[in-house]
Amino acid sequence: MAPVPLVELGVTNAVDLPEKSEIVKEEADQGKEWDKFSVEKWRDAVYTSKSFFQELFIDTTDFVGKLCDNLDGPLLVEVGCGTGEALVPLFTQVGKEQPRVRYSCGMDFNPNFIKFCQDEVAAEDQANIRHLVGDAQQLISLINNGLPKEWEVENRPKVVMCVGNTVGIMPPEIRKNVYQQMKEMAGTGGYMVVVFWNGNRFGDAVQNFYHKNPKLCGPFTGECIDLDTCTLRTPSGYCTHWTKPEEARAIFEEEIGIEVVELLEKGNGVLVAGRVR
């Protein structure tokens, strides 16, 4: 597509763009670099623009919480938990009579994030939450081998979620494998949940989230933005794709092979829940 006029998006900082031959390598390297991404850099980037996603944080908790309420003593698993904020409102017993899940587990490729999560767990919650370092392409073995036997993981209903557009920064082949691991782990008795960042809000996000967060993705110009595919690829190697509702449904039904039981487009998010047919 033609370059996006910079004035339309408020993106004016000039940088040297990568050659096309470098793009594939950068996309592959992104996964390798994620394990070194610092907690401080991530939290600074996300919370600098917290207002941009504040409603989506709340909507995600409500969406996933209702699914957990439908199950008897579920295990909640988050793929790519980052610094763990999405899990806390659902598992914590602090200030509550009853948490919305029986057990909870966050996993991430980045050991810095997992260490941060472990350090942040309140004393009241420590018996019922685990955080594991691992590859989401090996999710099933990681969960089955890494959680206490008394949790009865294999027989317990599960909600397996990946939120915050984590799938949007995964290279395609990795994403495909992760989807299948999540589907198999959720099984016929649970739910698989993916919260995509909404492609219908991509143009707004470029200006009001990414452009204001150079620590996350680096500076960029209009040539880095593809509004047709809702993709941003920056010279630093950061690449993200935002997903429209119709694409999200097709991913679940055609790519993953799972029945959509609820799809909600709300603000900056497309929230999708599915069950194995």
> Structure pTM?
0.85
User: 44 pLDDT band (50/70/90 cuts)?
Assistant: low
Q: What is the pLDDT averaged over residues 216-236?
A: 94
Q: What is the pLDDT averaged over residues 153-172?
A: 94
Range of the domain at 61: 35-198+243-275
In Å, how far are 28, 68, 146 from 215, measured between CA atoms?
Answer: 20, 35, 33
Q: Which pLDDT score, from 0 to 100, does residue 192 have?
A: 98
In a domain, 18, yes or no: no
**8 Å CB contact between 119 and 145:** no
Q: What is the pLDDT averaged over residues 112-139?
A: 96
Residue 90: CB atoms within 10 Å: 20
Strand order from edge to edge, sheet including 225-226: 225-226, 231-233, 239-241
In a domain, 10, yes or no: no
In Å, how far are 43, 272, 274 from 252, measured between CA atoms?
Answer: 30, 8, 7
Is a pLDDT exceeding 60 seen at residue 247? yes
Radius of gyration of the chain, Cα coordinates, nearest whole angstrom: 19
Q: Which pLDDT score, from 0 to 100, does residue 18 have?
A: 39
For residue 164, what is the domain's CATH number? 3.40.50.150
Is a pLDDT exceeding 60 seen at residue 271? yes
Q: What is the pLDDT averaged over residues 2-18?
A: 39
Is a pLDDT exceeding 80 seen at residue 48? no
**Which of these, 85, 90, 95, lies nearest to 120 by C-alpha position?**
85
What is the percentage of the chain residues whose pLDDT exceeds 70? 82
Our count of domains for the chain comes to 1
Condensed to tens digits (0 to 9), the pLDDT of residues 164-203 reads 889 998 999 999 999 999 999 999 999 999 999 999 999 9
Is a pLDDT exceeding 60 seen at residue 212? yes
Q: Which pLDDT score, from 0 to 100, does residue 12 have?
A: 38
In a domain, 160, yes or no: yes
Condensed to tens digits (0 to 9), the pLDDT of residues 76-103 reads 999 999 999 999 999 998 877 789 999 9
Beta bridge partners of 130: 105
